Structure 1
Amino acid sequence: MDKSYPITIAGVKRDLPLCKVSDELYIGAFVIFGDVELTMASASELLKIAPQHDIMITAESKGIPLLYEMARQSGENKYLIARKSPKLYMKNVVSTEVTSITTAKKQMLYIDSDDVALMKGKRVLIIDDVISTGESLRAVEKLVKQAGGIIAGKMAILAEGDAKYRDDIQYLEYLPLFNADGTVKEI
């Protein structure tokens, strides 16, 4: 029998399927791709608590719909994406390495000279869907700093596991980690 975790985020109720990471660890699968209602509601609530910023950035790919919606709702005409691979149109690429709980291997994140120019000396707000280990967040922070940007804040829809104890992030809801039997893991 499949297990799930009920959660309400920005007034929207969802059941997150539990997915095995290891024999001792399961996570609630949170995917906003295709969920317009949840994306719009989460963007609205995050914007209410967002610090002052000049531009926003996220790591490819699950944060993209959220970042787009936040930019749209706030009237910002530009946002940045740290890409998982360099694209042909990217010039003078800057990169950093990242390891994520939901990705089996190390990855790289890339920005180009145009992104660097947009961040240099500017207040940059880092957005993600879920912050768990914080590895993706650290990689984006590193890119922002390499570009000469100033970290205005770090935000996510969910803080997973130990991330709820961080005082350097803002989030809407806590997502616990789970045991194999579907019970919440004590942290």
Structure 2
Amino acid sequence: MRHTYPITVAGLKRELPICKVSDELYIGAFVVFGDAELTVACARELLKLAEPGSYDYMLTAEAKGIPLIHEMARQSGAEKYILLRKGAKVYMPDPLCVSDQSITTAGAQKLYMSRDDAALVKGKRILLVDDVISTGGSMRAMEELVKLAGGTVTGRIAVLAEGAAQQRDDIKYLAPLPVFNADGTVKA
């Protein structure tokens, strides 16, 4: 039997499958891919968390942040947002790069910012956007790339704050998400 966790986020109810990260840690898998209704609702509510006029560009890392930030840009009328990649692409000569450790990715991963995007970020105020903040590793890597490019992070928002991330005072989020035991119960 697969355990699920019921959650209401952005006014919508969903059942998140509980997935094993390690023998001691299970998480509720929040995936916006393929759920247009959820993506639109979360983008709308995330924009409400963003301080109006406090940022020049929104920035996220692939992959699950892509539909969220795209919809946020569409709803807000933003003409450009910044996307960090998990691999260097041929159209990214000499990209900026930092290492990252995510709870949902085995081993270290790298994040890349194109030099074109770095030029846009320089001297600008940046709003970081993510789907779930857990350990904060991805958020730290995004922030490090913004600093390397000469920008300033002015806000950090996410759909969900998982586990200990709920205690952080430097992020805003739509809903809390606990972590779980193997039997599907919430970890104390």
Same fold per TM (> 0.5)? yes
Q: Say if 2:89 is the partner of 1:125.
A: no
CA contact (8 A) 2:25 2:181 kept: yes
Aligned to 1:68: 70
- The alignment's TM-score, normalised by the length of structure 1, stands at 0.98
SS of residue matched to 1:117: helix
CA distance in 2, matches of 1:124, 1:92: 22
Q: Which residue identity is paired with 1:165? A: Q
Aligned to 2:26: 26
Shift >6 Å, 4+ stretches: none
Q: Say if 2:46 is the partner of 1:46.
A: yes
Superposed displacement of residue 21, structure 1:
1.1
Match of 1:79 among 78, 81, 86: 81
Aligned to 2:118: 116
CA contact (8 A) 2:39 2:71 kept: yes
What is the root-mean-square deviation of aligned Cα atoms in Å? Answer: 0.7
CA distance in 2, matches of 1:91, 1:24: 41
Aligned to 1:139: 141
Gaps spanning 5+ residues in structure 2: where? none
CA distance in 1, matches of 2:84, 2:156: 15
Q: Which residue identity is paired with 1:50? A: A
Q: How does 1:149-160 map to 2 (within 5 A)?
A: 149-160=151-162
Gaps spanning 5+ residues in structure 1: where? none
Aligned to 1:17: 17
CA distance in 2, matches of 1:23, 1:117: 44
Q: How does 1:92-103 map to 2 (within 5 A)?
A: 92-103=94-105
Once the two structures are superposed, residues 101-153 of structure 1 have per-residue CA deviations (whole angstroms, 9 ceiling, x without a partner) of 00011111001111111111111000000000000000000000000101010
Fraction of identical pairs, as percent: 63
CA distance in 2, matches of 1:46, 1:108: 26
SS of residue matched to 1:6: strand
Superposed displacement of residue 91, structure 1:
2.4
CA distance in 1, matches of 2:120, 2:37: 30
Once the two structures are superposed, residues 37-96 of structure 1 have per-residue CA deviations (whole angstroms, 9 ceiling, x without a partner) of 011001101111202210011111111100000011000011111101111111221100
Q: Which residue identity is paired with 2:8? A: T
Greater displacement, 21-30 / 127-136: 21-30
